[in-house]
Amino acid sequence: MPGSTFGELFRVTNFGESHGPAIGCVIDGCPPGLALSEADIQPELDRRRPGTSRHVTQRNEPDAVEILSGVYEGLTTGTPIALLIRNTDQRSKDYGNLLDTFRPGHADYTYWRKYGHRDPRGGGRSSARLTAPMVAAGAVAKKWLHEHHGTRFVGWMGALGDTEIPFEDEAEIPRNPFFAPNAAIVPQLEAQMDALRKAGDSVGARIEVRARGVPVGLGEPLFDKLDADIAYAMMGINAVKGVEIGSGFATVREHGSEHGDELTPEGFASNHAGGVLGGISTGQELVVRIAIKPTSSIRLPRASIDRAGRPTVVETHGRHDPCVGIRATPIAEAMLALVVMDHALRLRAQCGDVRLPVPPIAGARP
């Protein structure tokens, strides 16, 4: 209830603050018998790690993960898997004035009004740093799903500010710091970022994430629809302001005669639905897009107030991503993997003994 636990059957409880001693999570409900070590998790953490290019925050965090429990002799035991990441690059400085001022676009004001007391260091609990444990947990989900269902997750940047990034080649995604599926556009993106940094400003981004090899039947009919849970997971990522499935907002202008995906003996003829019908997975690719707002921490001066309600001006210096969207791709993949994993277990719980009167339509899962 208090909101730091994600999932129902594959549950991840997250803890920590940006500049506290440590961050981490506890995964409860992982099936037993999965081969697991830190080496399965670290590569995913490295994908979202700060300091890997000049376009992201220069905070120097190795984000080394330690498994504290739930694994014995290299296999999960079915008991909670606690993952610990020590914070190493906390800057010791006086945060007193930060505590008194509300930075525009940040959670400072809302945390203060809600709790009456907050940790202001590096954003405290509201820092995007808290996505690291989710990326770690997502790595476990990805591994299990791949071994049991052949599921794979892939994400990329679809737009950086007003630059649309045409999808060209998935193989390019890991070769540039933007997760752009397009080599030719990378110089333009770099120039765009350099200009932003120089101007002391920031910009938004759109990320697309997909899951392939998703079992049919994931999602509950009424409230825990697969797409509803995806929307919840994505909107919960820092700075996300919009979520689309399949045709998304373009569907407003579509007609029923084009939107509804026809079925053929070889499978669905199209995927406007984005892999979900009536809240339940069709077995097609899950197609998700998210809108990420520009970083709120910018060098340009902004008007604000302090805790006594007096006007003040905020200029944020220090280490910040001019586009938080750049590191969002592995996060979005991880959150999608956690949703799919949870529903895979939920499906097995309720419908583990469903036997269809006729064989499933092989082709309906292209």
Q: Please state the closest distance from residue 191 (CB atom) to a second copy, in A.
A: 16
Contacts of a second copy in 178-197 (CB under 8 A): none
Contacts of a second copy in 316-355 (CB under 8 A): 345-355
136 binds a second copy (CB under 8 A): no
366 binds a second copy (CB under 8 A): no
Q: Please state the closest distance from residue 169 (CB atom) to a second copy, in A.
A: 22
Q: Output 171 or 353, the one with its CB closest to a second copy.
A: 353
Distance CA 305, CA 311 (A): 4
Among 55, 142, 206, 327, binds a second copy (CB under 8 A): 206
243 binds a second copy (CB under 8 A): yes
Please say whether the beta carbons of 266 and 259 come within 8 A.
no
Distance CA 97, CA 115 (A): 18
Distance CA 22, CA 58 (A): 19
Stretch that binds a second copy, among 38-46, 56-64, 185-193, 202-210 (CB under 8 A): 202-210
Distance CA 297, CA 125 (A): 16
Among 39, 92, 94, 116, binds a second copy (CB under 8 A): 116
78 binds a second copy (CB under 8 A): yes
251 binds a second copy (CB under 8 A): yes
Among 64, 68, 191, 195, binds a second copy (CB under 8 A): 68
**Cβ-based neighbours of 73, under 8 Å, separated by 6 or more:** none
129 binds a second copy (CB under 8 A): no
Q: Which residues of 234-267 are buried (b: 16+ CB within 10 A; e: fewer)?
A: beebbbbeebbbbbeeeeeeeeeeeeebeeeeeb
Q: Output 8 or 46, the one with its CB closest to a second copy.
A: 8
Among 42, 90, 112, 146, binds a second copy (CB under 8 A): 112
Please say whether the beta carbons of 246 and 344 come within 8 A.
no
47 binds a second copy (CB under 8 A): no
Q: Output 62 or 161, the one with its CB closest to a second copy.
A: 161
Among 118, 129, 142, 210, binds a second copy (CB under 8 A): 118
- For 65, other C-beta atoms within 10 Å of its C-beta total 24
Among 174, 194, 269, 318, binds a second copy (CB under 8 A): 269
51 binds a second copy (CB under 8 A): no
Distance CA 170, CA 46 (A): 19
150 binds a second copy (CB under 8 A): no
146 binds a second copy (CB under 8 A): no
Residue 302 three-state SS: strand
Give the containing element (helix H, strand E) for 258.
Answer: helix 256-259
Identity of the amino acid at 342: D
Distance CA 363, CA 262 (A): 13
